[in-house]
Structure 1
Amino acid sequence: MPELPEVETTRQGIAPHCEGRTVTRVTVRNPKLRWPVPDDLAARLEGQTIRAVDRRAKYMFLVFDRGTVIVHLGMSGSLRVITDNTPPLTHDHIDLVLDSGITLRFNDPRRFGCWLWTDAPLTHPLIAHLGPEPLSGDFNGPLLFRLSRGKQTPVKSFLMDNRVVVGVGNIYANEALFKAGIHPRRKAGRISLDRYHRLAEAVRETLSAAILMGGTTLRDFVNSDGKPGYFAQSLLVYGRGGESCKHCGSPLKEIRMNNRSTVYCPKCQR
């Protein structure tokens, strides 16, 4: 699933091609996404100019003068900038043709994504109750400490709760907890303020590095052959169960938590 760094990398990649451009044609080939694409999407967008491409958590906002399209990539979706006459593929569900001649194309094989129209994106039910952005000043150790008091849930699950902080998906939760030296099964309410300071910094460090690497390893957002660059080459624990810890050399353990792979070092993480 695309996580926050991949969504932010996508936003950064498409924004220069879209901002300030007017939509000349909208083609919806399959409206049956996680929530149906509005029947009047083309009527709302054609003739409007994209003023900004923003992001909140894993949602992207295509901001127009008279409203906003909320875009989510779902489990396996992508947004591509098409500059040639590449024909749409089976799972290319939506095209926005811009006055520059390029096409913003949405591909979603599993159809778990969304394209929704709203006049007030920040108060939309999908957005309104989200926690702070992990790279903002609102996210810090004292916040985690305060929200965790009395919590019996494992800290990994706590960290992945979008009401606590947005965008810390499974991969990056594994990595941040390793950097902070915290066992993923430790109860959230039993972690000290000092350790939450370290965890908040580890989250910021991990996500910032992933966004930077996504940008530098991305071949191209133009045409249909580019793929976002993921953080795999720098992962310390995720996907490395049974391999040696890069810090102490001990074998990394892999367990399942909430049906997700969780990898940690039994020596470095307590």
Structure 2
Amino acid sequence: MPELPEVETVRRTLKNFIIGKEITKITVHYDNIITGDTNAFVTSLTGQTIRDIDRVGKYLIFILDTQAFISHLRMEGKYNIVAASKPLNKHEHLSFLFSDGSELRYQDTRKFGRLELVNKETYRHDLPLCKLGPEPWDADPQAIYRKIHKSNLPIKTLLLDQSLMAGIGNIYANEICFRMKIHPATPGKRLSKKRVAELIDVSTEILTQAITQGGTTIHSFDANGITGLFQVQLQVHLQKNCSVCNGAITKEMVRGRGTYYCPTCQKKQG
């Protein structure tokens, strides 16, 4: 699933290609891609010009003249910018035709992604974005500590909770736990105030590094041909041996999520 760095890479890439372009036609090839009324989505956006692209957590927000819509890529969503004459592939479910003859297409092999009209002025304060916690850069250590210091949930699970901190997914949660030398199944209540502050700092550091490198290319992620490079820096996710002690990396399920860790470097605290 694209996480914050991947979505940020998509945002930056798309801004280079579509800002200032007028939408002359929208074709929806799979209605369920749209949350809400499909006809309202099409009617409201046709004739509008894309002015900016924002991001909150893993959500993209396309800002137009008087309208806005959010896009969540979920597992395998991506955007392709092509000539309108290019044949549609079977996984492209939505097309925005621009006045210059180019087309922005939303592709999603699993059809899990969603697009939805939102209020241009208040989208950060409305559903679904208002349910998100702060991104690591903006997280308050005291506030995070108050939310987890009595929790029996594994720290890995807490890192994936978008209402706690937005933007972290499975890959980066594994990397954060490894960098902190903490077992991913360690209950949140075992973290001291100092360790919570460290958790936020490490999360910020890793996500920043990943953004600089263009995200992580795992399976199908790319941003219109821009593939991520952070995968070459992954220390535990999908790895066979620990980069610190050279011991074997273990993979197991933590609350239903595939989790990589080093049993030597990451001791569990019960």
TM-score by length of 1: 0.89
How far did 1:65 drift? Answer: 2.5
Q: Of residues 247, 260, 263 in structure 2, which corresponds to 1:263?
A: 260
- How far off is 1:46 after superposition? 1.5
Q: Is the 8 A contact 2:175 2:234 kept in 1?
A: yes
SS across alignment from 2:24: strand
- What residue number does 1:237 align with? 236
Letter in structure 2 aligned against 1:40: A
| Partner SS, residue 40 of structure 1 | helix
Aligned to 1:78: 78
Residue 125, structure 1, aligned to residue 127, structure 2: yes
Distance between the aligned counterparts of 2:130 and 2:8, measured in 1? Answer: 20
Instruction: Report the CA distance between 1:234 and its aligned residue.
Output: 1.5
* Pair 162,154 (structure 1): closer, same or farther in 2 beyond 3 Å: same
The aligned runs of 1:128-167 (5 Å cut-off) are 128-134=130-136, 136=137, 138-167=138-167
Asked if 1:252 corresponds to 2:249, the answer is yes
Relative to structure 1, the CA distance from residue 161 to residue 79 in structure 2 (aligned partners, 3 Å threshold; closer, same or farther) is same
Matches of 1:150 and 1:180, distance apart in 2: 20
Structure 1 residue 176: Cα displacement? 0.6
2:256 maps to a residue whose letter is: N
Counterpart AA for 1:129: K
By how many angstroms is 1:37 displaced? 5.8
With 243-252 and 7-16 compared, the bigger mean Cα shift is at 243-252
* Paired residues, number: 262
**TM-align CA RMSD:** 2.2
Quickly say closer, same or farther: Cα 1:170–1:251, change in 2 above 3 A: same
Q: SS at the partner of 2:263?
A: coil
Give, in whole Å, the separation in 2 of the partners of 1:75 and 1:67.
Answer: 26
Give distance in 1, aligned partners of 2:112 and 2:214: 23
DSSP 3-state at the match of 2:266: coil
What's the TM-score once normalised by structure 2's chain length? 0.89
Structure 2: how far apart are the matches of 1:34 and 1:260?
27
Alignment of 1:53-202 (within 5 A): 53-83=53-83, 85-119=85-119, 120-134=122-136, 136=137, 138-202=138-202
Alpha-carbon separation, structure 1, partners of 2:223 and 2:258:
30
Mind listing any 5+ residue stretches in structure 1 that lack a counterpart?
none
Is this contact kept in 2: 1:175–1:235, CA < 8 A? Answer: yes
Deviations 1:29-88 (A, max 9, x none): 221227356222222112111111111111111112322111111211101111463211
DSSP-derived class of the 1:39 partner:
helix
Distance 1:230 1:29, change over 3 A: farther
Distance 1:148 1:267, change over 3 A: same
* Partner secondary structure for residue 129 of structure 2: coil
- d(CA) in 2 for partners of 1:239 and 1:82? 33
1:83-112 Cα offsets, whole Å, 9 max, x none, are 463211011111112233321110112111
2:84–2:97: 8 Å Cα contact kept in structure 1? no
Judged with a 3 Å threshold, the aligned counterparts in structure 2 of structure 1 residues 251 and 163 are, in CA distance, closer, same or farther, namely same
Aligned residue identity for 1:245: C
CA deviation after TM superposition for structure 1 residue 250, in Å: 2.1
Task: For 2:133, give the aligned amino acid.
Answer: G
> For the residues of structure 2 that align with 1:234 and 1:216, how far apart are their CA atoms?
9
Pick closer, same or farther for the CA change 1:16–1:179 going to 2, 3 Å.
same
Q: Residue 214 of structure 1: CA displacement?
A: 1.8
Contact kept? 1:71, 1:114, Cα under 8 Å: yes
Distance 1:37 1:249 in 2: 54
Match of 2:44 in 1: 44
